[in-house]
Structure 1
Amino acid sequence: MKISIGNDHAGPDYKKAIVEMLQAKGHEVTNYGTDSAGSVDYPDFGRPVATDVSEGKADFGIIICGSGNGISMTANKQSKVRAALCWMKEIAVLARQHNDANIISIPARFTSIPQAVEMVEVFLNTEFEGGRHQNRVDKISC
């Protein structure tokens, strides 16, 4: 699977742990995130992930910032992107099952690294249920 990841200064340690897990499972990872704790602007790191997902260059995206909000707002500006802010694994499962989310947004200041890794794992391994949810997902796209 091809996965793009991006993070601002709140997420370098999260990204490192997630990328290690993904590569150990044989996934191809494109890294757009910063490796520094120095202040940066999250749109600069979320937008390329969203572009990869929108253009089909990545199957899924992972974005990380302090609250997870700003970077998900940025990602959701791209067509074909459904970025979901997740702070626990149950939300990540529902984002995939009910919303066919293709990008997970992680709030680094409100989750632990093990929690974030677990969320990514369940996100990538959960299928969209379709059915009654498909009509709703279709209405998300303009």
Structure 2
Amino acid sequence: FYGWPYVYYGTYPDPFHANANSAKVQDAQQRARVPDLALGGHSVPLGLRFYRGDAFPEKYRLGAFVARRGGVGRADFLGYDVVFVPFEVGSPTGVVEPFLTGFIADRELGTVRGRPVGVAELADGSLLISDDAGNAIWRVRYVGD
């Protein structure tokens, strides 16, 4: 249980419910789990794939690729990328690394080239990234240093 709709991110009370449902808020604060990793509010992480291939360098093996579609109407443009999250012994390390970027066309104009939504792994170890704004499927493969 992560607390919603009474609390978010473990213990932070939702202002709408704080006064109207104080007993439920207090109960949720005591029972709610804090997420293992924050990917940013409104970054819209939609696709996740644990990498099992061996075409990319070893550091990517068994880590997670996350497609973050990005929120609408946000001045900070959080998301609009694919990030990599390393895992150790089945848990995220807390590090979120940019992996595939360049989907923001112009921050001042508020335009984007694409919005990554899904991640798939092919048999050869390359990745497919679906993009619902650019109407494309991107293939990402490692070619060496």
What's the TM-score once normalised by structure 1's chain length?
A: 0.26
What's the TM-score once normalised by structure 2's chain length?
A: 0.25
More helix by share: 1
More strand by share: 2
Task: Answer 1 or 2: higher relative contact order, Cα 8 Å, separation at least 6.
Answer: 1
